[in-house]
Structure 1
Amino acid sequence: MQEKKELLLPAFALGHTTHHLYTAIIPALLPVFKNTFNLTYIEASLLPAAFQAGLTAQIAVGIYSDRTAKRSIIVSAGLAATALTIAALALAHTYHLLLTLSFLAGVAASTYHPAGTTLVTEYYPRKMGFALGIHAIGGGLGTSLGPILLGALAAYLSWQEALYIIALPGLVAALIYSRLVKDVRLGWVGTQKQKKLEEGSIKKVAPLLTTFIAAYLLGMFAAETTIDFIPLYLTTVFLVAAPTAAILLGLMRILGVIGGPVGGAMVDKLGSKRVLSLSFFGQAACILILIQLDLGGALYILLALIGFFFAIQIPAGNAYLAKLVPERRRGTAYALFFTANVAWAAIVPPISGAIIEAHGFQAAFTTAALVCAAGAAIMLLLREPTVKKI
């Protein structure tokens, strides 16, 4: 039993790695899709937007996971389904079918965060920042490995064959996760009085929760713009080959492997809101510098730093929310939080794509940096919450 417990954090990180390996695939393939289907920038931007729109299904997943407590089953089944739907992109012969499959891949991926993140906070309530930081390693590793693996495979195989091979890790991870991670049964009896106390607690923090999510979304504008359009920026402005651009997108996220645990440790010492503000200011500054650079070592370093600052915001945002709401409502709260994120992520690419179409990449990246900085400023004004145990 002890050995199995020691494998829990690696299992959580593995699940997160696999989930984000697939979330990074569509942006990495945008140059290929644009050329293959002869798309405009706006049409290309609708592909990651469709994936993000599919992710809004996680609000239903979060509510269901809170009511049934079958979080491990939800995560395991979702990992397998995501792998299969991403592989199915290879079967698309028209743009509209590609758009539909992108949406369905998002629906499959919607199963992870509400259930998976809640499981981490339930297993490690006293070391939440640390555990979420280790969990975040998976996010950074997955978003890095996805494009790198895809680019390496596509250099020797067709992009369709590469997608078939990339489906395999998801199926293996789903099996491992289902064997190692079991659901937590909280010792909590839902009396009418306790339910009223819980509902009152949620209503009390609603204004702070709303402001927090709004500030977080402003900060996310930069990440969504850079992740979706860096490959197109590199292939259009610097004439980088599509497989190389995919690998560079992966390198942008490689520092996320250390950014997750560093961010988690910073949360435990400094508090969530300070780490979030630092993350957003850091991303904004790096983007403004990056668009002034030519292709070379300095640009690669800036890409990696953007990935690092993005990575530290993940455990910070998750910890802030976990402290703000009662344990029994975390699945639903995370679902609301991540649904707001993905709804925003579905809106941002078309906005940035339209700016690129009309004014170019520099205007789009500058806009993203300024919006991100506004989110950082608002975050500094929020209070730091304490853990809710109702």
Structure 2
Amino acid sequence: MSRRTVFGSLLGLVFLVNLARVVFAPLLEPLGTALDANDAALGTIATLAWLGSALPRIPTGYLLTHISRSVVILASSGILAVAAVATSLANSVPAVMVGAFLMGLASGSYFIAGNPLASELFPDRVGSTLGIHGTASQLAAVSAPAIVVAALGVGDWRTVFRAMAVAAVVSGIAFALTARRTEMPDAGAEDTAFLAAARHQWRIVLAGVAVIGVTGLVWNGLFNFYVKYFLAKGLTGAQANQLLTIAFGAGVPAFFVSGRLADRLPVLPYILSIIGGFLLSVYATTLLSGYLGLAVLSAVLGYVIHSLFPAVDTYLLGSLPDHHRGSAYAVYSGTMMIIQASGSTIVGSLSSAGYSFETIFTWLVAVLAAVLLGLTGLYVDGQLPTGARA
């Protein structure tokens, strides 16, 4: 079989592991009704899915210095299948919390192995490959509400997880069969010194964290409170949810197009321009209040922020040498995920303290502008690494 076939099986897996993180958002209401859970408990369920995705990334990077990416990817599909079955059998909120955390673990371990493997399958077009890989992931976020509605139409909330368990088993078997019959890239075999890779590549790792850490923090805080933010502006619940769907939907073409642009443009100026566009878009949300204006803005904002992810992955994975790629990427990914995850906590705490969303996001835009100014100054001065050390 060809590497294209292996890549096709990866697309199915990345859809499922991202669905494992995002499916809890549209499921919170039926879960609350079925399990008699309050909002605090439901919010914890969603948080645990993302926390589970963040925590295994650095340990998985170390594990990859001893075993192949294919083994970790196959294990991720197995963890997802087991976690989905366990969640479908849960009869209490704590049991669902454990299931959500385990499903997050599957996604975190997958991304640390799957992203580098995808970049190594087609090393001459890293950005395009990662863009397609990210598009499949983003389709999960867009389709999650429809998947939940369809499952509830034929069963209950447990049906979602039963279907995911079956899909994870089928996708894992498909990947195992295609990988076994294909000559896989052996670039990762040289990556055997985790700490040495982190020490040697600390400059580009730190640059990646600086680029996406604060930007992702702002985005995390924004999209988790998107509906409440626009409800406060006077929109209806249906309108606010439509705007969130538009923002996520715009990410589908963004991944596809941005990956190709990252292959063709000077990647650092491209990344810095994306951050500039994002902070302007977030600031514009504080100025607009009408549905049509916010709908257009949501499409622009969603496209811009989702353009950043394949661009930064191309910046790192496209320049990190074979013997450092997986380990250095794991350190970057684990660090930036923890920073990003704090965004909703910061926004929620400030909102509970009595500050308006307009004030909160104006402050966050100011912080992001200061970061962008600093990064631009470093780039102009030649201090921001344009690639990894050989």
- Bigger RCO (CA 8 Å, 6+ sep): 1
157-166 or 105-114: bigger deviation? 157-166
Q: What amino acid is the match of 1:252?
A: A
Deviations 1:111-143 (A, max 9, x none): 211110111122222221222222221222222
Retained in 2: the 8 A contact 1:284–1:372? yes
The CA RMSD over aligned residues, in Å, is: 3.5
In 2: Cα distance, 1:254 partner to 1:265 partner = 19
Partner of 2:127: 129
43-52 or 343-352: bigger deviation? 43-52
Q: Note the 1:275-294 alignment, pairs <5 A.
A: 275-294=270-289
Deviations 1:28-67 (A, max 9, x none): 4456667852225xx6554443223222112111211232
Partner of 2:225: 229
Retained in 2: the 8 A contact 1:33–1:39? no
Alignment match of 2:312 (pick from 307, 313, 317): 317
Retained in 1: the 8 A contact 2:127–2:318? no
Q: Note the 1:1-390 alignment, pairs <5 A.
A: 1=1, 4-30=2-28, 37-40=37-40, 45-55=43-53, 56-69=55-68, 71-82=69-80, 84-86=82-84, 88-89=86-87, 94-151=92-149, 153-154=151-152, 158-181=156-179, 183-186=184-187, 199=196, 203-233=199-229, 238-240=235-237, 249-294=244-289, 296-358=291-353, 359-380=355-376, 381-382=378-379, 383-386=384-387
Q: What amino acid is the match of 1:212?
A: G
**TM-score (structure 1 length as normaliser):** 0.81
In 1: Cα distance, 2:268 partner to 2:236 partner = 39
- Structure 1 residue 188 displacement after superposition: 7.1
In 1: Cα distance, 2:191 partner to 2:79 partner = 33
Which ranges of structure 2 fall in alignment gaps of 5 or more residues? none
Provide closer, same or farther for how the CA distance between residues 217 and 115 of structure 1 changes in structure 2, counting only shifts above 3 A: same
365-374 or 56-65: bigger deviation? 365-374
2:66 match: secondary structure:
helix
In 1: Cα distance, 2:77 partner to 2:185 partner = 20
In 2: Cα distance, 1:357 partner to 1:90 partner = 34
Deviations 1:85-107 (A, max 9, x none): 35654555554444333322222
Q: What amino acid is the match of 1:310?
A: I
Deviations 1:58-90 (A, max 9, x none): 211121123212x12321331343355356545
Q: What amino acid is the match of 2:316?
A: L
Provide closer, same or farther for how the CA distance between residues 33 and 215 of structure 1 changes in structure 2, counting only shifts above 3 A: farther
Provide closer, same or farther for how the CA distance between residues 14 and 250 of structure 1 changes in structure 2, counting only shifts above 3 A: farther
Q: What amino acid is the match of 1:172?
A: V
The sequence identity of aligned pairs, in percent, is 21
2:225 match: secondary structure:
helix
Provide closer, same or farther for how the CA distance between residues 211 and 357 of structure 1 changes in structure 2, counting only shifts above 3 A: same
In 1: Cα distance, 2:275 partner to 2:327 partner = 25
In 1: Cα distance, 2:27 partner to 2:290 partner = 20
Deviations 1:156-193 (A, max 9, x none): 864444444455443433332223345432497799xx
Q: What amino acid is the match of 2:237?
A: V
Provide closer, same or farther for how the CA distance between residues 50 and 239 of structure 1 changes in structure 2, counting only shifts above 3 A: same
In 2: Cα distance, 1:13 partner to 1:120 partner = 10
- Structure 1 residue 328 displacement after superposition: 2.0
82-91 or 298-307: bigger deviation? 82-91
Retained in 2: the 8 A contact 1:221–1:368? no
Retained in 2: the 8 A contact 1:145–1:250? no
In 2: Cα distance, 1:73 partner to 1:277 partner = 36
1:110 match: secondary structure:
helix
In 2: Cα distance, 1:140 partner to 1:202 partner = 29
Retained in 1: the 8 A contact 2:268–2:386? no
In 2: Cα distance, 1:331 partner to 1:139 partner = 20
334-343 or 167-176: bigger deviation? 167-176
Retained in 2: the 8 A contact 1:288–1:369? yes
Q: What amino acid is the match of 1:319?
A: T
2:38 match: secondary structure:
coil
- Structure 1 residue 210 displacement after superposition: 1.9
In 2: Cα distance, 1:336 partner to 1:181 partner = 26
In 1: Cα distance, 2:112 partner to 2:284 partner = 35
**TM-score (structure 2 length as normaliser):** 0.81
Provide closer, same or farther for how the CA distance between residues 6 and 265 of structure 1 changes in structure 2, counting only shifts above 3 A: same
Q: What amino acid is the match of 1:334?
A: Y
Aligned residues: 377
In 2: Cα distance, 1:310 partner to 1:130 partner = 17
